[in-house]
Structure 1
Amino acid sequence: MNIQGVPVERVACSDPVLVLGGNGRLGRILHMRWANRPDVFWQARGPVAGIRWAPGVPWPGPARVRAIVALWGVVPGRGDPAANVPLACAAMALGAALGAERVLHCSSAAVYAPAPLPRNETQTDPRSAYGKAKLAMEQAIAAWQTANPQGPAACVLRIGNVAGADSAFAAIRHRGPVRVDRFAGGHGPRRSYLDHATLARVIDVLLTCPNTALPGVVNVANDGVIDMADLVRAAGRQLVWTPAKTPQAGTVLLDLTRLRQLVDPGPTDPATLLADAATLFRGQR
């Protein structure tokens, strides 16, 4: 049921869902939520449970799937972000080969420039190399669809800051004071955050809504913004302010109007985000 109270029809199919990138952060988060789902297969390139596979070698998994969730990709500081382009195209090609109806792709709020007003899906203006690479990935997906009109539908999720997966949580996890940029008005960086339960719920809705309701691009986050300084305080850590070097980077707020046509993401809070992060970090030990 969407935010207007109108039931959203669900697609029923006996073929499984394939998740690409089961050993990445988003993959581990989703696996914790979906570990007992018999209709989901998990792919990874490393030695983890599931299907070990990489593009360029024969596919060893099921002959048919109803959908693919492409969580794989290069994150900031861990390789060349341009590699996200061929990975997205490989996911589309695999989806076509396996008869998938749709492929969900993970993009990022980094495709937007920071701004005090909500950023909707038409307002791309990436400032970082990672954001530019993610936008190039989105454009490559659109080009692939144009060249392969009989292929699967694609939905790009522009995901906000996920609990446990951004720099604030990494700093909180380590001992010592946590340095936070201070912006005009006395606040820290304010971002649209996403807790783990909402991530799993949104993906499930996007997997089961009719193709006619599937958005090509959609912002994904919980309602509102959360100040990174509030995360530090809620964790009981010492907060050390530093002057913000880029004053315009104070706020990244995602417009969720399109998402709410399918599902109400609801709010989250620092306590929920910190609990999710702790669960993710425990799974890394």
Structure 2
Amino acid sequence: MAAALMFGGATGRVGHLLRRAWSVTAADRPLWCARTAAPGIDLVWDMTTPPPAFPAAGGAAGVCLAGVTPGRGDLAANVTLALAAHRAASEWGLSHLFVVSTSAIYGATERDPVSEDTAPRPVNPYANAKHKMEQALLAQAAEADPPVTVLRLGNVAGASQPFLNAIEGEALRLDRFGDGHGPSRSYIGPLGLARVLNALTGHAFAGHRLPDVLNVAAPQPAEMAAVLAALETSWEFTPAGPDAVQFLHLDTTRLEAICPGAAGHGTAEALVAELRSVPRSAP
């Protein structure tokens, strides 16, 4: 039996990248569930209907990747999807459910990273929707199994900016702030994310107690300018507007204690090297 089930979003931007990355790690292949059929998908479920029977998942730890991002639908559906995932996890007999949230719920941070104990300060509709999702999900999990861990995911190399603009060949401009520098973010590479999810689901499958909330990123943040330099992409600065966010840095002490080293280092060069090592298509 697989120790992990990845579902709801397995064919989305992060899910597709993750499936490609997983194929080159030493980790056991998880079960993959998606809302639409695709090669390599083990179960199709659209998350709007009652979940189908799926005895193969019994005892596994689940990771719900599903979510609605800006411009791709009703952001309020993030709550609906997360609660549907938890109900399915209960019916399938999953040992634990990990649900992907976003580091954006912290709003802008200072240069010093923020821990999971930092109060969320969502500053845009997407972050606010994800914050509401977290609250509703944890409340439901307090009343019914399985237990839940919310994963506040940092920027994923290859599925976030500035990687997407660079990959698509678009003209790039970075905000320049008062100190002369551009934006800086906590990133995680695709291989690092696969290793982290493999480690976390393994801990859950083994019955280990896990926290309600985890920041997920490499320990070291990277400036977007350094990322673009590593990608050998041209860009230029533009003055930062009043709502621009310079720092979004995550404290990953809690994650490193559970799966030390799995997330990688997070330097721009390491992130680009990870991305280039991933196959162009999922197996």
TM-score normalised per structure 2: 0.86
* Equivalent position of 1:19 in the other structure: 6
Q: Secondary structure at the match of 1:54?
A: coil
Could you say which residue in structure 2 is the equivalent of 1:170?
Answer: 164
1:274 corresponds in structure 2 to 272
Gaps of 5+ in 2: none
**Cα pair distance change 1:244/1:280, threshold 3 Å:** farther
Q: Distance in 2 between matches of 1:249 and 1:118?
A: 14
**What is the CA-CA distance between 1:166 and the residue it aligns to?**
1.3
Query: Counterpart amino acid of 1:121?
Result: E
SS at match of 2:159: coil
Q: Distance in 1 between matches of 2:221 and 2:30?
A: 32
- List alignment gaps of at least 5 residues for structure 1: 1-13
1:257 matched to 2:253? The reply is yes
The residue correspondences of 1:60-209 to structure 2 (distance < 5 A) are: 60-62=53-55, 64-65=57-58, 66-116=60-110, 117-123=112-118, 124-148=120-144, 151-175=145-169, 177-209=171-203
Q: In the TM superposition, what is the alpha-carbon distance from 1:235 to its structure 2 partner?
A: 1.9
Q: In 1, distance between residues paired with 2:256 and 2:192?
A: 13
Distance 1:279 1:24, change over 3 A: farther
Q: 2:5, 2:63 within 8 Å by CA — same for their partners in 1?
A: yes
Q: 1:35 to 1:230 in 2, by over 3 A?
A: closer
Out of 44, 49, 72, the position equivalent to 1:52 is 44
Q: Is the contact between residue 215 and residue 252 of structure 2 (CA under 8 Å) also seen in structure 1?
A: yes
> What displacement does 1:277 show?
4.1
Asked if the contact 1:28/1:280 (under 8 Å) is kept, the reply is no
Residue identity opposite 1:44 in structure 2: A
Q: Distance in 2 between matches of 1:64 and 1:268?
A: 32
Task: Report the equivalent of 2:30.
Answer: 40
SS at match of 2:228: helix
Q: Is the 1:160–1:254 Cα contact (8 Å) retained in structure 2?
A: yes
Residue among 239, 242, 256 paired with 2:235: 239
- Structure 1 length as normaliser, TM-score? 0.86
Identity of aligned residues (%): 35
- Cα RMSD after superposing both structures: 2.3
Alignment length (residue pairs): 269
